[in-house]
Amino acid sequence: MKVKKIGIVSLSSGIMGENFIQHELNLGKKRLEEYGVAVEFLPHALKGLEFIKQHPECRAQDLLDAFQDDSIDMILTAIGGDDTYRLLPYLFEQDVLKKVAKQKIFLGFSDITMNHLMLHKVGIQSFYGQAFLPDVCELSTEMLPYTKSYFEELLTTGRIKEIRPSDVWYQEREDFSEKGLGVSMPSFPNQGFELLKGNAQFSGPVLGGCLESMYDCFDSSRYADSVQLTQKYKLFPTLEDWSGKILLLETSEERPSVELYRKMIQALKQYGIFDVVSGVLVGKPQNEIHYEEYKAVLLEELEDKGVSIVYNMNVGHATPRCIVPFGVHAQVDVDAQVIRFDYNK
């Protein structure tokens, strides 16, 4: 399936609508059009930070419209950001999302983790790991090669066949102004998938995302009503639903402290998730900050669990980024340094 039209939505932050981002937006739009793809920004996607923050109902409507528009093959999120859990009432009262959702490509990461869980709840498979502004609009002369290869595969086939580690990782850019156009990021050798414990081979459909976003389902210190809303609409999957799945975890650009990382892992542990999943895939921390410390936390907290843990995937907030299909049977093979996806299982 070749993508002919992409609908771009702002479901979290509205930064894409701000003037200071215009050079990035123009660059990304040009790149997409060079693939021969039509690009549509949904009606509220470019309304800016303040409007998007104040109007979760408009964000929700854009998502519903994108699913209802049969000319849109792929829904691409602008970026992550904040509080997309606030879309819950506008998508789940009267089952509005369930009534319009149909299988099409949905791609996003970071806070968009919550939207992936929403789509999972209504039976839609989605794709995790890239977004419009951070990836398609990358300021280098072209998209990062590893990132680009996965994006092009999804664009041209509608699937991701397998994931292998990147040869390099990049130090994140700090200047996103026009001065950054054409400037490359420093790169470093990458060491591939690392088996922390358990079997080198395991399988199951993947689900998960940004650890901090998932933690908001259990802890209200960031948003006063996140636990209440996510519980009301039963957003976080039940243990029965998690059974046999592979949990994907990655951390945000906030580079959480080791103490917070431990608290977040403990919250999932207390829920019982590590007793039922077949394995855990962990994304590389951004700029490799707390790389060894996070590893130590995982080994200490999950020492008594029989679960396999694979560390250092190129997914989420550290560049470059692969794309992970959610809800598709995955076969992880650390010895062969590959994760393969079987769409027929």
Q: Report the CATH number at residue 57.
A: 3.40.50.10740
Same domain assignment for residues 185 and 149: no
Domain boundary among 148, 163, 178: 163
The pair of three-digit structure tokens given for residue 197, joined into one six-digit string: 């414990």
Same domain assignment for residues 28 and 72: yes
Same domain assignment for residues 158 and 215: no
**Residue 260 clears pLDDT 90, i.e. is over it:** yes
Same domain assignment for residues 70 and 154: yes
Q: Which domain holds residue 12?
A: 5-163
H or E stretch at 341: strand 338-342
Same domain assignment for residues 95 and 212: no
Same domain assignment for residues 58 and 191: no
Same domain assignment for residues 293 and 145: no
Same domain assignment for residues 134 and 283: no
Same domain assignment for residues 116 and 250: no
151-166 mean pLDDT: 98
The rounded mean pLDDT for the chain is 97
**Residue 219 clears pLDDT 90, i.e. is over it:** yes
Q: What percentage of the chain exceeds 70 in pLDDT?
A: 100
**pLDDT class of 31 with cuts at 50, 70, 90:** very high
pLDDT per residue as tens digits for the range 105-158: 999 999 999 999 999 999 999 999 999 999 999 999 999 999 999 999 999 999
Domain boundary among 130, 163, 196: 163
- Number of domain units in the chain: 2
Positive or negative, the CA dihedral 260, 265, 267, 268 is: positive
Class of residue 56 by CB neighbours under 10 A (exposed 0-12, middle 13-18, buried 19+): buried
Is 14 within 8 Å of 53 (Cβ atoms)? yes
Q: What percentage of the chain exceeds 90 in pLDDT?
A: 96
Residue of 39, 29, 53, 27 lying closest to 177 (CA atoms)? 27
Same domain assignment for residues 108 and 215: no
| pLDDT for res 117 | 98
Enumerate the H helices of 103-225 as residue ranges.
113-121, 145-157, 211-215
Q: In CATH, what number is assigned to the domain containing residue 262?
A: 3.50.30.60
Reduced to 3 states (helix: H, G, I; strand: E, B; else coil), residue 20 is helix
For the chain, give percent helix, strand, coil, nearest 5: 40, 20, 40
Is 112 within 8 Å of 8 (Cβ atoms)? no
Same domain assignment for residues 204 and 253: yes
Is 133 within 8 Å of 78 (Cβ atoms)? yes
Is 199 within 8 Å of 308 (Cβ atoms)? yes
| pLDDT for res 277 | 98
Same domain assignment for residues 86 and 56: yes
**pLDDT class of 177 with cuts at 50, 70, 90:** confident
| pLDDT for res 345 | 82
**pLDDT class of 180 with cuts at 50, 70, 90:** confident
Domain boundary among 109, 132, 163: 163
**Residue 233 clears pLDDT 90, i.e. is over it:** yes
